């Protein structure tokens, strides 16, 4: 995997994205199921029967720069093949500003919802231990790339659960491939889960930042 550059390429001219393209006319919105500062996530039906999660930029965020970042996120996610990482199904658009990424629908919601559920035990259980193991397996996979992939925004909302309570990592919007210079962008991630070196504004952080974030997730789960 190579580090992508910042040059802008239209979605109509990007061969990697075109290879992932699905027919947007066969996608039907069902309901909104989530969202963040830059994007919303919808439950959609594809070809009338298949349920997927559709991520698309919010209208106010549909700038060329954000679209470029979204394209890079989609292309990065398309390279992953691991049981503990949410599978990208494809991308769809009719016009560039309506680009959406379709991924498997995780019916169990996210880890935060599971933890705040009143009937979830505060103590460690076999289920919680398995969720932790699933996240570790995903991190080992990402960090095993050469060069390594650093998620940079690992938190409970970015860990989704299947019907069988299998945990899968998602949201690679700020993930990066380690550069040869071993420097990373400042000011990414979510402060509550960020490692001290990231909060301090250092640029020489690495995979250890993900390990710290996992430790924070683990401590929240054990309360």
Q: Count of residues for the chain?
A: 223
- 29 pairs with which residues across the strands? 44
What's the DSSP call for residue 119? T
Instruction: Choose the catalytic residue: 14, 134, 153, 171.
Output: 153
Contacts of 181 (CB under 8 A, 6+ apart): none
Instruction: Examine the residue annotation and report whether 171 is marked as an active-site residue of this protein.
Output: no
Please check whether residue 43 is in contact with residue 30, taking contact to mean a CB–CB distance below 8 angstroms: yes
Which position has the token pair 């899968």? Answer: 168
Tell me the C-alpha to C-alpha distance, in Å, between residue 105 and each of 54, 67, 126, 209: 9, 23, 24, 28
Active site residues: 153
């Amino acid at each position: 995997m190579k580090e992508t550059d910042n040059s802008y390429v239209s979605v109509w001219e990007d061969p990697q994205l075109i290879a992932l393209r699905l027919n947007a006319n066969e996608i039907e919105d069902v309901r909104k199921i989530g969202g963040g500062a830059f994007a919303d996530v919808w439950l959609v039906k594809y070809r009338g029967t298949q349920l997927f999660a559709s991520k698309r930029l919010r209208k106010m965020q549909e700038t060329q720069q954000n679209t470029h970042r979204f394209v890079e996120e989609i292309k990065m996610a398309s390279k992953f093949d691991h049981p503990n990482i949410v599978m990208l199904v494809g991308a769809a658009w009719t016009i560039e500003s309506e680009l959406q990424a379709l991924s498997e629908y995780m019916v169990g919601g996210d880890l935060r919802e599971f933890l705040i559920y009143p009937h979830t035990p505060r103590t460690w259980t076999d289920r919680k231990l398995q969720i932790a193991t699933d996240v570790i397996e995903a991190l080992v996979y990402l960090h095993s790339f050469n060069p390594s992939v650093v998620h940079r925004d690992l938190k409970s909302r970015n860990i989704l659960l299947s019907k069988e309570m299998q945990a899968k990592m998602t949201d690679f919007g700020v993930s990066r491939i380690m550069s040869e210079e071993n420097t990373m962008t400042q000011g990414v991630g979510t402060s509550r889960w960020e490692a001290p070196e990231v909060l301090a504004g250092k640029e020489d952080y690495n995979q250890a930042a993900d390990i710290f974030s996992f430790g924070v997730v683990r401590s929240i789960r054990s309360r």
